[in-house]
Amino acid sequence: MAELTHIIDSEVFLAFSTYATIVVLKMMLMSPMTAYFRFTRKCFANMEDTGMAKTPEDKKRMLRVDPDVERVRRCHQNDLENIIPFVVIGLLYTLTGPDLSTALLHFRVFVGSRLFHTVAYVLPLPQPSRGLAWMVGMGATFSMAYRVLSSMHL
Amino acid sequence: MAELTHIIDSEVFLAFSTYATIVVLKMMLMSPMTAYFRFTRKCFANMEDTGMAKTPEDKKRMLRVDPDVERVRRCHQNDLENIIPFVVIGLLYTLTGPDLSTALLHFRVFVGSRLFHTVAYVLPLPQPSRGLAWMVGMGATFSMAYRVLSSMHL
Amino acid sequence: MAELTHIIDSEVFLAFSTYATIVVLKMMLMSPMTAYFRFTRKCFANMEDTGMAKTPEDKKRMLRVDPDVERVRRCHQNDLENIIPFVVIGLLYTLTGPDLSTALLHFRVFVGSRLFHTVAYVLPLPQPSRGLAWMVGMGATFSMAYRVLSSMHL
């Protein structure tokens, strides 16, 4: 492992910052998308959210589970399960001092696969498009984790 | 982007560490709160957790969904969806070398909005208190992400 | 707080990188485990995932909730709620310049408790094995957070 203090000021670190921010922003946008589907489908999880209803019966009817809302929420959950490990392992990978081109390849493959994953999940596209997008993203993170572990010592 | 190696030893970094730790601890406390509601409401998700029941019928009756438990779990999930992006983007923002006063403003607005969000969700307070708290927190994180992306180059 | 720029190149940081990567990889492996149970139990959440079904009735029958799948998913969710706080607080703790032996104790206790937690959840083992594993992990993270906050100033 090379001198970390120099690496953190490097091109690789700047690239990581940019791609990590982009993919985390994409993940955050699933929240407003869930809100959008909740309002257009009139489907809420909390009684205090049903203020647009006029009668108590209407309020109760809005406390339901909607398949479109659940689809967006599953996509958001899948993002949490995949994008956060990418950020953690990607940061540690950046500090091992990889080549800029190799690092960019990892970051771009991951971010591209997750953008496609969201499209494939929300539309939805027929399988195996979503499954493949998920696997490619996992592969990029595993490849970075391999480099982190092989440049370490317990 | 200024010299990162000096910035990481700065006042801004110390402030980030403190506020990030506080808000992550707040998020972690949702777990014991869920446990508290599960025990007082006698409502569990796993058969092996129903040891306090005396008869097999009692055990089965405890495997249910309780609205209070679900409310705390939704609050915890919302924390995961908002606080983790804050930590990631906040760390990268800290490394761009912002003014201490601007950084403190972002960190304090975010942490304050999430503390209020938890109160508004668990009590619950009438809307739009929870919705506004969520938006203010998102706004603080988006504002930091804007600075990260504008001081970067792909 | 000592000079951060030297600490980031230290033994403690290398140890943190290794243990954080191991425990994040463990968390990521819950995704393929969920997929494995979904395929063997023929239990899916999305209509487009039921391609193995031959008739439309079979497809609908595969859109169900299976207790084994839900158990693995709850274990994955518990990982997200506990391992991500460990990574965040563990990184900040590493930067406070702790003794290597104290730091290793925290990292090993946490990672060991989470590995045992997964075994106790998926098999499952009788309680309180899972509950204790969860508490030990929380304790390690809280202990690191205490050091972070006591070496800071607001």
| ipTM of the prediction | 0.90
Q: Which position has the higher pLDDT, C51 or A105?
A: A105
Q: Helices C67-94 and B67-94, interaxial angle, to 10°?
A: 40
Residue B96: its pLDDT value, please? Answer: 87
Which pLDDT does position C1 carry in this prediction? Answer: 36
Q: Indicate whether B58 pLDDT > 90.
A: no
| Closest residue, chain A, to B89 (C-alpha) | A21
Q: Mutate which of B16, B17, B108 to test chain C, going by most C C-beta atoms within 10 A? A: B17
Contacts of A24 in chain B (CB under 8 A): 85, 88-89, 145
Distances, alpha carbon A98 to alpha carbons A12, A154, B71, in Å? 8, 20, 44
C-beta atoms of C21 and A149 within 8 A = yes
pLDDT tens for each residue of C90-131: 999 998 889 999 999 999 999 999 999 999 999 999 889 999
Record: contact B76-C81, CB cut-off 8 A: yes
- Greater confidence, C22 or A97? C22
pLDDT in tens, chain A (154 residues): 344 445 556 889 999 999 999 999 999 999 999 999 999 998 898 888 888 888 888 888 888 889 999 999 999 999 999 999 999 999 999 988 899 999 999 999 999 999 999 999 999 998 899 999 999 999 999 999 999 999 865 4
Q: Do B45 and C74 touch (CB under 8 A)?
A: yes
Residue C15 to residue A141, Cβ atoms within 8 A: no
To the nearest whole Å, the CA of C54 is away from the closest chain B CA by: 33
Shortest distance, CA B56 to any CA of chain A (angstroms): 31
Res. C152 pLDDT band, cuts 50 70 90 = low
Q: What is the pLDDT of residue B1?
A: 36
pLDDT of residue B134: 96
* Residue B5 contacts C, CB cutoff 8 Å: yes
Q: Is C6 on the interface with A (CB under 8 A)?
A: yes
Contacts of B78 (CB under 8 A, 6+ apart): B117, B121, B134
- Residue of B131, B109, B112 whose CA lies nearest to B120: B131
Contact B5 C3 (CB under 8 A): no
**Cβ–Cβ gap B15/C82 under 8 Å:** no
* Residue A96 near residue A147, CB atoms below 8 Å: yes
Q: How far is the alpha carbon of A8 from chain B, nearest alpha carbon, in Å?
A: 7
Query: So what's the pLDDT on residue C3?
Result: 45
Using an 8 Å CB-CB cutoff, list chain B residues near A48. 124-127, 130
Q: Which distant-in-sequence residues (6+ apart) come within 8 Å of B121 by Cβ? A: B71, B74, B75, B78, B130
Residues in chain B: 154
Q: What is the pLDDT of residue A97?
A: 86
pLDDT, position C154 = 45
Residue C87 binned pLDDT confidence (cut-offs 50, 70, 90): very high
B-chain CB neighbours of C138 within 8 Å are 28, 31
pLDDT at site A58: 86
Whether cis (ω within 30° of 0) applies to the bond prior to A67 is: no
Are B138 and A27 in contact (CB < 8 Å)?
no
- Is residue B82 predicted with pLDDT exceeding 50? yes
CA distance C44 to C63: 5
Query: Which of B44, C51, B132, C34 lies closest to A127 in space, CA to CA?
Result: C51
Question: Nearest residue on chain A to C52, judged by CA atoms?
Answer: A127
Q: Can you list the positions of beta strands (E) in chain C?
A: none
Question: Of A80, A65, A67, A64, which Cα lies nearest the Cα of A30?
Answer: A80
Task: Report yes or no: C40 at the A interface, CB cutoff 8 Å.
Answer: no
More confident residue, B153 or C16: C16
* Over residues C6-29, mean pLDDT: 87
Give the nearest partner residue to A18 out of B88, B127, B149, using CB atoms.
Answer: B149
**Residue A9 confidence (pLDDT):** 61
pLDDT digit string (tens) for B59-77? 888 888 899 999 999 999 9
pLDDT for the residue C8: 58
CB pairs under 8 A between B and C: 72
Per the prediction, chain C carries an average pLDDT of 89
Query: In this predicted structure, what is the pLDDT of residue B107?
Result: 97
What mean pLDDT comes out for the span C39-45?
A: 90
Q: Name the more confident of B116 and C10.
A: B116
The answer to whether the Cβ–Cβ distance between A85 and C18 falls below 8 Å is no
